Structure 1
Amino acid sequence: MVDVVDPGVVKTGAYKYEDGTRYVGEWNAKGQKHGMGHLVLPDGTRYDGALIGGLCSGLGVMAFPDGAKYEGEFMQGWFHGHGVFWRADGMKFEGEFRGGRVWGLGLVTFNDGSNGFPRNEGFFQDCRMVRRKRCPEVVQRAQKVAYMARAQCQQF
């Protein structure tokens, strides 16, 4: 079996930046983080996943120093697409994200396992629910994407 390599990837390696950021992974010809990589920021935030032109793009997992975590799709450095976000207190949102914010259909689950009453499921704009609506297919897609992001990162 032949491994398929992203045509933009020209080398793999590690680099530590002056601000303390550390990166291990794939690079493109312009010297940008590109392909699969592991990034640790000075504040302890960790990212494992795909990067395009230096930015988190594609599937990835981001873990924050306070215990919060996001697993899912990224675009140009932002949570964007389907994914699951856990707050440090255990509350989670499974659904759609736009530009780094909860935006679209999804479901909130509190740290006690409940969804609230009435159920916190529906359409969210800028992290606020604006319309209640059942959306099990979106929640399932978010769970699947989160699983795929985790699995991809474990292989790397």
Structure 2
Amino acid sequence: MVDAGGVAKNGAYKYDDGTRYVGDWNGRGLKHGAGSLALVDGTRYDGAFQNGLCSGLGVIVFPDGAKYEGEFMQGWFHGHGVFWRADGMKFEGEFRGGRVWGLGLVTYADGSHGFPRNEGFFQDCKLVRRRRCPEIIQKAQKISMMARAQCNAA
């Protein structure tokens, strides 16, 4: 007997809108555990789910080529991770509620960080206070690598 919160079964489902999910489900019929979600617009999420929402480590790739690898909570980018824009710019650092929010570093497509360097505390995607934060950047890189490895192993 599996409790309603744990993984009860594994399987695939195609929703009426064409969205497809393959992975673990809980006893209430919600995505729960490891899975892969492919939306009709081409967006794809591979990673952990909790009670129907992306939660835990995961990788999401958007139709334009933008990608996020890192921590999710209740369906949002939340925690540490790396986000690459389609134009090659990336942010390594902290996210809250789906936004760049916290310490981190911007790297432009040419490999530069801007002048002065775009590193520090970001609030709603804007740099508000410059500060070196190598430990946060390293943690974001590590979490990103762990999310990618977890998805590649599945």
Query: Which TM-score band (shorter chain)?
Result: over 0.9
Partner of 2:141: 143
Cα displacement string for residues 37-96 of structure 1 (whole angstroms, at most 9, x for unaligned residues): 000011110000000000000000000000000000000000000000000000000000
Among the aligned pairs, what percent are the same residue?
Answer: 79
The correspondence of residues 44-63 of structure 1 with structure 2, limited to 5 A, is 44-63=42-61
Partner of 2:86: 88
Q: TM-score by structure 2 length?
A: 0.97
* Distance of 2:123 and 2:41 partners within structure 1: 28
Q: TM-score by structure 1 length?
A: 0.95
Alignment gaps of 5+ in structure 1: 1-6
* Distance of 2:66 and 2:123 partners within structure 1: 21
SS at match of 2:37: strand
Cα displacement string for residues 106-142 of structure 1 (whole angstroms, at most 9, x for unaligned residues): 0000000000100000000000000000000000000
Partner of 2:98: 100
* Distance of 1:30 and 1:98 partners within structure 2: 28
Please identify, of 101-110 and 7-16, the stretch whose mean Cα deviation from structure 2 is larger: 7-16
Partner of 1:20: 18
What is the one-letter code of the residue matched to 2:82?
A: V
The correspondence of residues 62-141 of structure 1 with structure 2, limited to 5 A, is 62-141=60-139
Alignment gaps of 5+ in structure 2: none
SS at match of 1:97: strand
SS at match of 1:147: helix
Runs (4 or more) in structure 1 with deviation over 4 Å come to: none
SS at match of 1:84: strand
